[in-house]
């Protein structure tokens, strides 16, 4: 059975490679719509499903397609991926000294012969940042790590120096809840 990761994220690729050795990567092309008026839980699941379904529809045969989507929320506000450095700076100022939630959706679509299954789930973890000075933020933004990262940071990158506490699963914050994915892969007898 082919295993396909529907993502361009090097972080998701690395996490999946620790669980299975042989898999393909096919990047979904549809833009994420973060403006939908639904809960963060529903949105991360919906976007994960859309990614997996797009790639599933482009492929054939027995296959297992994995889609995931990660977003940050603070004070009821959704923080996606910043488009400009100024937007990243605003996000980091908002995260400074505060707890925030990281939601990560997970969708796995499995095709075996005529049977098709869809697993759809999500996980949430909590992160507290230290107080960030303007100098801290400017130093961090010089590294361009904020690009293509929900909330403008990557907990496994240099921004980990800003993290004071974490409650929940680290891989959820990185972008692929491996503890949930493992159970699905095991149930489907691929590991």
Give the pLDDT of residue 30: 82
For residue 98 the two structure tokens come to: 């505060």
Give the pLDDT of residue 176: 98
Candidate list 22, 33, 62, 69, residue with the active-site label: 69
CA distances to 6, 52, 108, 114 from 58, rounded to whole Å, are: 11, 10, 15, 17
One of 3.40.50.620, 3.40.50.2300, 3.40.50.720, 3.90.950.10 is the CATH number of 2-187, namely 3.90.950.10
Contacts of 38 (CB under 8 A, 6+ apart): 46
Neighbouring C-beta atoms of residue 22, cutoff 10 Å? 8
Active-site annotation holds for 69:
yes
Strands (E), 84-153: 99-112, 115-129
Give the pLDDT of residue 125: 98
Give the pLDDT of residue 158: 95
Give the pLDDT of residue 148: 86
pLDDT averaged over 10-residue windows placed end to end, the chain, 191 residues:
96 96 95 78 95 98 97 92 95 98 98 97 98 97 92 95 97 97 97 92
Q: What predicted TM-score, i.e. pTM, was given to this entire model?
A: 0.93
């Amino acid at each position: 059975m082919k295993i396909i990761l529907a993502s361009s994220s090097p972080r998701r690729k690395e996490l999946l490679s620790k669980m299975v050795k042989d898999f393909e990567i096919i990047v979904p092309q549809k833009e994420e719509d973060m403006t939908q008026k639904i809960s963060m839980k529903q949105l991360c699941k919906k976007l994960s499903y859309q990614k997996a379904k797009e790639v599933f529809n482009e492929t054939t045969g027995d296959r297992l397609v994995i889609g995931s989507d990660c977003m940050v929320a603070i004070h009821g506000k959704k923080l996606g991926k910043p488009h400009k450095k100024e937007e990243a700076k605003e996000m980091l100022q908002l995260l400074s000294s505060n707890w925030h939630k990281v939601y990560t959706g997970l969708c796995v679509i499995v095709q075996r012969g005529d049977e098709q299954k869809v697993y759809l789930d999500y996980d949430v973890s909590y992160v507290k940042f230290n107080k960030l000075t303007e100098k801290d933020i400017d130093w961090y933004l010089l590294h361009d790590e904020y690009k293509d990262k929900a909330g403008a940071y990557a907990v496994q990158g240099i921004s980990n120096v800003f993290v004071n506490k974490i409650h929940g699963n680290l891989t959820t914050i990185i972008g692929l809840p491996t503890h949930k994915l493992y159970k699905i892969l095991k149930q489907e007898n691929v590991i």
